[in-house]
Structure 1
Amino acid sequence: MRWQEACLLGCWLSLCAAESFFACPSSCKCNSGILEVDCSGLGLSSIPSDIPTNTRTFLFLNNKLSILPGPVFSNLSALQRLDLSNNFLDQLPQNIFSDLGNLTELQLRNNSIRALDKDLLQHTALLRQLDLSINGLAHIPSGIFDDLPALRSLSLRSNRLQSLDRVTFEPLTNLQQLQVGDNPWECDCNLRDFKHWMEWFSYRGGKIDQLACTLPKELKGKDMRMVPMEMFNYCSQLDDENSSTVLDNTGPPCTKGSPTPSKTKLGPEPEVEPSVGCPQKQRYRPVSVRRAIGTVIIAGVVCGIVCIMMVVAAAYGCIYASLMAKYHRELKKRQPLMGDTEGEHEEQKQISSVA
């Protein structure tokens, strides 16, 4: 009996210890079975400081969070899922996630984040899902995804992105889904290399939504993957000219010329013209495939008409020559055997007139 009482007492004490070990913050909802803390939709402007250290899931959606202090997650090394969506975050400290080595899912959807530090995700090697959609991102720094070999899902929808660098996404060898829609993409030379990467990503089975072009106007609304590579042939020429300009520019920086100071004169001021050493760069634009095909068709039709005209002229010349030969034969037959000089003279006149 004493042994049974001791066992019951031990179980009761262990339950009390477990409840005290996973103490739920005030006004939040907790699930000790899955070690989840849910503080969503409470209008909070700061993260509670009494979150249990063994929490695996922390939900902080639909609040008024605008600032993340540096050490706010320093005691949550066991955290696996973090959701800070629908808040007012405008920047993220560089080391804010440095203690979350077990993090596998990070949700930052619908905030006001405008910039990301390239070392922001340096210590989250187990991250599999990252959502940065509906923010104000205009640039993704190169190297930010270098330490995320396990990342499978990435969302960059509804930002202010105009171009992406292929080198930034090449380390994501296990990426399966990428969302980049609803951005003001400029389908120019800056996006050409990323187009190659998208084609390779789709070829190996990755899923990517539509990357619709905004500029230039000839490609507005078209998916970048469907744009022919011939549209970017001018990029190579532009790169060559830029490289040659850098190599040749050994003197002072090129500036627009200005009128040289001289003695004060009455009259109209001289117009400012670009200096001879500063030629204006030609702005290349992608060639329209439809226009190129139309030009080829028109050129083919014109060449065909010219060839037909040449054939007709050659045939007319042959017919004319045969008629003249026949005419000469008829004249020769009509000549008398004892021809007089007058008849011959008239005949020569007729032949010369016909010729």
Structure 2
Amino acid sequence: MKGELLLLSNVMFLLGVACGCPEKCHCHSSSKSVDCGRQGLVEIPPDLPPQTLTLHLENNQIHQLPAFAFRSVPQLMTLNLSNNSLSTLALGAFDGLQHLQVLNLTQNSLHSLENRLFHSLPQLRELDLSSNNISHLPASLGKPWENLTVFAVQQNQLQQLDRTLLESMSNVRLLFLKDNLWKCNCHLLGLKLWLEKFIYKGGMTDGVICASPDTWRGKDLLKIPHELYQPCLSDQVPSQALQPGSARRAAVSLPETHSVGERDHSECELQPKPKPANLRHAVATVIITGVVCGIVCLMMLVAAIYGCAYAAITAQYCGEHLAQTSESGRMEGKELFDSSPA
């Protein structure tokens, strides 16, 4: 039965190829792939074979994707749209692609993404949005992506990233975030905490390298000490919540974005210090204590030497005095003995 279905599928694909392979494309029946790359296309080719599993549209000049742009290939599993001129993606551009697993949108001109853009891709496993001009990602891009394992947004214009979006990717294992305009202030605290947990569980990332403020430019977000985020906690969490052991839990619940009218982002920037205040005080205390202890020990040593010297001199003097007294007594006894009657 399976063999008959496979044969039927291949026959249908061959018929599709024979009847309607797009003029500037190359259709491969064995792999059920269609290659339309490097053809100067400005739109999605019509009449693609319906059994297509892999579609290559890279290195063209496609500017936008309308709704249901891929309705002719409902079985599609891999779609490569890299190195085009895409700046607009209609809300239903990927509708109908229930089996799509790999989507490559690198090297385009995307500035933002609608929060429901990928809602119709329940099987998506790899999403590559690198090398675009994306400056903002919404807190949610549809329902949770339970199957997503690879997410790439490197080389964009991102300054912050809502951890809620990352938490919706429960199975992601590879995360590419480098070469963005990351602003390492209080708004990035949630991402820092999420990345620490992500790496602890075995996830792999290329890191978040700070672009601002100037003090942290070029530094890895994960290497910024937690102590420097204490002002963020004290500003955004009630004082009673910052009891011993609760600071980290409170940080996890911090909001990542702020509504219009709240404080300017510059007010949330970290004010880095060479060392935390409590550490400086501890070092100063240790130094002062060491100096005092040294002085006391030196005084005790001088006192001990003086006492020993005094005791030695006193003992010598007493010994000489006793010797003189004994000698004097013997002389007096001898004189008395000599003067007594014979």
Residue 18 of structure 1 aligns with an amino acid whose one-letter code is L
2:49 corresponds in structure 1 to 52
Tell me, yes or no, if the aligned pair for 2:128 and 2:151 is still in contact at 8 Å: yes
Asked if 1:43 corresponds to 2:40, the answer is yes
1:79 corresponds in structure 2 to 76
Rounded to whole Å, the distance in 1 between the matches of 2:168 and 2:24 is 42
Tell me, yes or no, if the aligned pair for 1:73 and 1:97 is still in contact at 8 Å: yes
Query: Secondary structure of 1:215's match?
Result: coil
1:213-265 residue CA offsets vs partner (Å, 9 max, x unmatched) = 222333222221222211211111121489xxxxxxxxxx99xxxxxxxxxxx
1:276-317 residue CA offsets vs partner (Å, 9 max, x unmatched) = xxxxx7976143447865564344323433555577789999
What runs of 5+ residues in structure 1 fail to find an aligned partner? Answer: 1-10, 243-252, 255-280, 324-355
What runs of 5+ residues in structure 2 fail to find an aligned partner? Answer: 1-7, 240-260, 311-342
2:123 corresponds in structure 1 to 126
Residue 24 of structure 2 aligns with an amino acid whose one-letter code is S
Tell me, yes or no, if the aligned pair for 1:145 and 1:169 is still in contact at 8 Å: no
Map 1:167-178; keep pairs closer than 5 Å. 167-178=164-175
1:259 corresponds in structure 2 to none
Shift of 1:198: 0.7
2:105 corresponds in structure 1 to 108
Map 1:77-226; keep pairs closer than 5 Å. 77-144=74-141, 146-226=143-223
TM-score in terms of structure 1 length: 0.68
1:228 corresponds in structure 2 to 225
Shift of 1:167: 1.2
Residue 102 of structure 1 aligns with an amino acid whose one-letter code is H
Considering only aligned residues, what root-mean-square deviation do their CA atoms show, in Å? 3.7
Asked if 1:305 corresponds to 2:291, the answer is yes
Map 1:213-292; keep pairs closer than 5 Å. 213-240=210-237, 285-289=271-275
1:19-64 residue CA offsets vs partner (Å, 9 max, x unmatched) = 5566311021110122211110111111111212221111101011
Rounded to whole Å, the distance in 2 between the matches of 1:217 and 1:150 is 38
Count of residue correspondences: 280
2:25 corresponds in structure 1 to 28
Rounded to whole Å, the distance in 1 between the matches of 2:14 and 2:216 is 65
Tell me, yes or no, if the aligned pair for 1:22 and 1:54 is still in contact at 8 Å: no
Tell me, yes or no, if the aligned pair for 1:123 and 1:147 is still in contact at 8 Å: no
Tell me, yes or no, if the aligned pair for 1:180 and 1:210 is still in contact at 8 Å: yes
* Structure 1 pair 22–153 and aligned structure 2 pair: CA distance change class (3 A): farther
Detail structure 1 runs of 4+ shifted over 6 Å in the superposition.
Answer: 14-17, 310-319
Query: Secondary structure of 2:227's match?
Result: helix
Tell me, yes or no, if the aligned pair for 2:186 and 2:229 is still in contact at 8 Å: yes
State which drifts further: 197-206 or 139-148. Answer: 139-148
* Structure 1 pair 284–202 and aligned structure 2 pair: CA distance change class (3 A): closer
Query: Secondary structure of 1:121's match?
Result: coil
TM-score in terms of structure 2 length: 0.71
Residue 57 of structure 2 aligns with an amino acid whose one-letter code is F
Rounded to whole Å, the distance in 1 between the matches of 2:291 and 2:57 is 75
Identity of counterpart residues, as a percentage? 31
Tell me, yes or no, if the aligned pair for 2:66 and 2:92 is still in contact at 8 Å: no
* Structure 1 pair 55–306 and aligned structure 2 pair: CA distance change class (3 A): same
Residue 304 of structure 1 aligns with an amino acid whose one-letter code is G
Rounded to whole Å, the distance in 2 between the matches of 1:283 and 1:52 is 54
State which drifts further: 288-297 or 75-84. Answer: 288-297
Rounded to whole Å, the distance in 2 between the matches of 1:22 and 1:232 is 64
* Structure 1 pair 137–314 and aligned structure 2 pair: CA distance change class (3 A): same
State which drifts further: 141-150 or 41-50. Answer: 141-150
Name the structure, 1 or 2, with higher relative contact order (CA <8 Å, separation 6+).
2
Query: Secondary structure of 1:178's match?
Result: strand
Residue 168 of structure 1 aligns with an amino acid whose one-letter code is L
Residue 160 of structure 1 aligns with an amino acid whose one-letter code is Q
State which drifts further: 85-94 or 223-232. Answer: 223-232
Rounded to whole Å, the distance in 1 between the matches of 2:234 and 2:277 is 20
Residue 189 of structure 2 aligns with an amino acid whose one-letter code is R
State which drifts further: 202-211 or 101-110. Answer: 202-211
